[in-house]
Amino acid sequence: MPPTPPDSGALRRSLLLVLLVVDAFLLATLELFYLPLRLDGVLLPRMGDVPVPVTVLVAAVTTPLLVTQTARLVHPRAAILPLVVWIATLVALGVFGPGGDRVLLPDWRALLLLAGGALPAALVLGGALGRRPVGTRGAGRGG
């Protein structure tokens, strides 16, 4: 009897999971490195040297989106992986950054980034884990 080929659905889900986790890593890296943006005339226009943590808004949108897509396309239990990778990347690069430099700012913007990305994603994760996967309607509930 010839060996059975791997399930193409499982392979597709695994590749999607890898892609979504890599996206979480890249987004956390970019959000962390662009967190110190200021209206100082270098990258943004000069308007009083005010901090503009625009990456907090990016994190508040993209991190829950990654969790939602992982729950929908891969499996609800796998939806925690993008969130864990995002937080681990923030902590690892922020504290032990490239070349040993501390990248995470010791001020309110760092807390805002962590809260802005992690809290909405955790809420979405809870909702995804609370739902039954598609195709299991009535399984184990007697009807």
Number of H helices, E strands in the chain: 4, 2
Report the pLDDT value the prediction gives residue 142, as an integer from 0 to 100. 46
What is the tens place of the pLDDT at every residue in 78-136? Answer: 999 999 999 999 999 988 877 777 888 788 989 999 999 999 999 999 998 887 666 55
> Looking at the domain assignment, is residue 137 inside a domain?
no
- Please give the helix or strand (H or E) that residue 41 lies within, else none: none
What is the tens place of the pLDDT at every residue in 17-63? Answer: 999 999 999 999 999 988 888 776 666 667 777 778 889 999 999 99
Question: Exposed/middle/buried for 102, CB within 10 Å: 0-12, 13-18, 19+?
Answer: exposed
**Number of separate domains in the chain:** 1
> Looking at the domain assignment, is residue 123 inside a domain?
yes
Domain that holds residue 102: 9-130
Is the pLDDT higher at 16 or at 7? 16
> Looking at the domain assignment, is residue 142 inside a domain?
no
> Looking at the domain assignment, is residue 138 inside a domain?
no
> Looking at the domain assignment, is residue 44 inside a domain?
yes
> Looking at the domain assignment, is residue 139 inside a domain?
no
Total length of the chain: 143
DSSP-derived 3-state class of residue 100: helix
